[in-house]
Amino acid sequence: MQKNNIDKIKEISHFLDRLNPVEALDILHFMRIQFADNLKEISEEIFRKYKEKLDSLSDYRGVYLILMVDYVGDAILYVGKTSGKSKTSGLRFRLRDHTKLLGKTPLTLFIPNWWIKRMYPIPISNADKAKELEEALWAFIIKNAKNKSHFHSLEELEGEISKVINKYIALVGSLNYVELQTNKELRKPFTLKCPPAGQPRYLVK
């Protein structure tokens, strides 16, 4: 399945590579608009399914990770932080909002919500520790994406993430997560990619 997807991408890329960048983007955006109704319909259906699974989360403050599997089976990781000071800033609300089409995050402009596999809520009461952990996790993602590091299993990736987290807070047992899609599989080996929206603006130096 993933090999077929890779072949399709190569075929489309071969055509787009012959165009100038603006023309290629014009075509891609035009096609996305053509399928906008489908995008809205599928996204809303997926959002309803995810909402039920995320309702059990607390609206505590902390850091969170979103693991996505792209069309060719590679991993995309996004990190966020929330203050938990209001009903719209706790972990439950923020994670749910990330699964909604045109939610508060620019992530949803680029990545369809049906690519999301797991979400990792990490409650942290100390705001300074949360900021430090968020920055450390982004550094981990950027470094591995730049180096095109290979991982042979999701467990291996989660183990490396846990090592980063344990430098700031003590994890009790394994990394806690909410599984949104069990049938969304990573290829072997897979690479870790940065989200196309990049880091939140306040982290960019």
Looking at the structure of the chain, the number of domains it has is 1
Query: Is residue 26 domain-resident?
Result: no
Query: Is residue 22 domain-resident?
Result: no
Percent of the chain with pLDDT over 90: 52
Domain with 69, as residue range(s), is 35-203
pLDDT score of 9 more than 80: yes
Report residue 18: phi and psi, to 5°: -85, -10
What lies within 8 Å, CB to CB, of 127 at 6+ separation is 61, 83
Query: Is residue 181 domain-resident?
Result: yes
Residue-level pLDDT at 179: 94
Tokens 């680029």, located at residue: 110
What lies within 8 Å, CB to CB, of 154 at 6+ separation is 67, 75, 186
Rounded Cα distance between 192 and 121, Å, is: 19
What lies within 8 Å, CB to CB, of 93 at 6+ separation is 59, 82, 87
Question: Across all residues in the chain, what is the average pLDDT?
Answer: 87
Query: Is residue 23 domain-resident?
Result: no
Q: In this structure, are residues 162 and 115 in contact, taking their beta carbons and an 8 Å threshold?
A: no
Query: Is residue 189 domain-resident?
Result: yes
pLDDT score of 57 more than 90: no
